[in-house]
Structure 1
Amino acid sequence: IQTSSSQTSPEEAMGTPRIQHLLILLVLGTSLLTSGLELYCQKGLSMTVEADPANMFNWTTEEVETCDKGALCQETVLMIKAGTETAILAMKGCIPDGEEAITIVQHSPHPGLIVISYSNYCEDSFCNDKDSLSQFWEFSETTASTMSTTLHCPTCVALGTCFNAPSLLCPNGTTRCYQGKLEITGGGIESSVEVKGCTATIGCRLMSGILAVGPMFVREVCPRQLLTQPRKTENGATCLPIPVWGLQLPLPLLLPSIIHFS
């Protein structure tokens, strides 16, 4: 009687654990590769004055920046509108720290001078990809207004210094003339913006006391006393200029409109 037996060679016996070891190494390698992915952000810097920013300002950029570990992508813009022109200071790139969030602030609402800022901090590659200002702000909301027949103010906005500031009729709802400079640093920007125009904002508070916009730091500088022209009220009485330090308003009246998404 012949008997047959099946014997497994040592090489075959070791095949299954060897495959398991390879699978474990493959999974570990994939995890290490995923955790070590670099963050890429669009990079760009722009400072300009536009008459039609909604259609003429292009926020696209072909430059790419590789971020350090723990950084985020960011895109930030500050817009200052006086009369028919808008100064725009915009940037994209990496930021070393922060939290993922979108923040829109209307520092100085219409009518009159308008200041709006937008910042987006995000943690995916190329997430700072806005290409138009109208993607986060409706410009038609800031254009329509009824003009006053009594108050005129020198009006201009310029990078550096205004060389021409025509006296323009002010919209209804404004009460005084503003004159000041915004000194802006950070994020690759070192510039100043001179602003003149009609406003209802009291004192040197065009930025509503907010000093940081994304990576930018803003310092607002005004003459010692903002001068205003007398204005006729509906009953014919004349409103005389009042020193800034002579007015005190409740805090809620001084706060800007802030929208924050996180």
Structure 2
Amino acid sequence: MGTRHIQNLLFIFFLGASSLTLAQHLYCQKGITTSVEEEPWNTFNWTTGKVDTCDDGGLCQESVLMIKAGAKTALLATKSCITQGVQEMIFVQHTPSPGLVAISYSNYCEDSFCNNKTDLSQYWHLQETSVPSMPAALLCPTCVALGTCFNAPALPCPNSTTRCYHGKLEIVGGGIELSVEVKGCTALIGCKLMGGILTVGPMMVKETCPHQSLAQPRKADNGAPWLSISVWGLELLLPLLLQSLVCFS
């Protein structure tokens, strides 16, 4: 009788331990979105019906990178379990307006289905930027595309921008592997659309600028235009300058 009682207690103990182990599983929302949209902060729905089951020690994550050029915004968003990281929430405005804008948000959390943001409205606070009513002194090819921009119209630049940006972002991680081409007006100096921050949650970002602009035409205080020149332009002009020097000598 005593032996049977002990066996029953052991069975209840193991059943309870098994239930506790099952209860410790972490479940996360799972989904990937890559798109180019107009006003995604008003229209984008970040809900998903898919579920990810985490390994021991895992966390839930939700991360998004948004890049706005003109009227279009590239959106790269991922939700899933993640095996490494600490519980934290990070919001970064990599490039401030006017002109091009790059913003990212990531959240690592440790409760089941805690990566449950449904929209982006609270993470996108754009200041209104003014475009000159008279003919703009600066026009830049403007576009953002997954892969390559096949159409980049030259658009008037907002006040306070001083140059044109042309770069590519290679994004890998969180189930995403693609490139984003970006062109537009900016006050940035150098290839720094991401502001030197090259991770967004599980996404690694590599930024390259093949023809980085040094200066673009703006009206000087006396009304005279500044010279427009680039590294690419110098490469084309140098042989002509050398040839002219030879002729005059």
Task: Note if 1:152 corresponds to 2:139.
Answer: yes
1:1-262 to 2 correspondences below 5 Å: 30=16, 33-34=19-20, 36=22, 37-138=24-125, 141-142=126-127, 144-148=128-132, 149-226=136-213, 228-241=215-228
Secondary structure of the corresponding residue to residue 213 of structure 2: coil
Q: Cα distance, 1:35 vs. partner?
A: 5.3
Contact 1:151-1:231 within 8 A present in 2 as well:
yes
The Cα offsets for residues 151-204 of structure 1, whole Å up to 9 and x where unpaired, read as: 110100000111111111111111000001101111111100000000001111
1: CA distance, partners of 2:94 / 2:228: 23
Unmatched segments (≥5 aa) in structure 1: 1-10, 245-262
**C-alpha spacing 1:25/1:170, structure 2 compared with 1 (3 Å):** same
Name the SS of the counterpart of 1:183 in structure 2.
strand
Distance in 2 of aligned mates of 1:52 and 1:115: 14
Whether the 8 Å contact between 2:58 and 2:84 is mirrored in structure 1 is yes
Partner of 1:247: none
* Two-structure CA RMSD over aligned residues (Å): 2.4
- For residues 241 and 25 of structure 1, the distance between their equivalents in structure 2, rounded to whole angstroms, comes to 82
Q: Percent identity between the aligned chains?
A: 61
Residues of 2 paired with 1:220 and 1:152: CA distance? 23
User: Could you tell me which amino acid in structure 2 is paired with residue 160 of structure 1?
Assistant: G
Select between 26-35 and 144-153 the one with higher mean Cα deviation. Answer: 26-35
TM-score (norm 1): 0.78
Residues 2-26 of structure 1: per-residue CA shift (max 9 Å, x gap):
xxxxxxxxx9xx9xxx79x95x996
Which runs of 5 or more structure 2 residues have no equivalent in the other structure? 232-249
User: How far apart are residue 54 of structure 1 and its match?
Assistant: 1.7
Give SS of 1:112's match: coil
For 2:246, the equivalent position in structure 1 comes to none
Amino acid at match of 1:59: W
1:117 and 1:97 mapped to 2: Cα distance? Answer: 19
TM-score normalised to structure 2 length: 0.82
Q: SS state of the match for residue 54, structure 1?
A: helix
| SS across alignment from 2:42 | helix
Q: Distance in 1 between matches of 2:108 and 2:229?
A: 41
| Distance (whole Å) between structure 1 residues aligned to residue 12 and residue 122 of structure 2 | 43
Q: State how many pairs are aligned.
A: 224
Using a 3 Å threshold, how does the CA distance of structure 1 residues 158 and 227 change in structure 2: closer, same or farther?
farther
Cα deviation, residue 243, structure 1:
6.5
Find the structure with the greater CA-based Rg. 1
Aligned partners of 2:182 and 2:131: how far apart in 1? 20
CA contact (8 A) 1:178 1:227 kept: no
- Greater shift, 125-134 or 219-228, is seen at 219-228
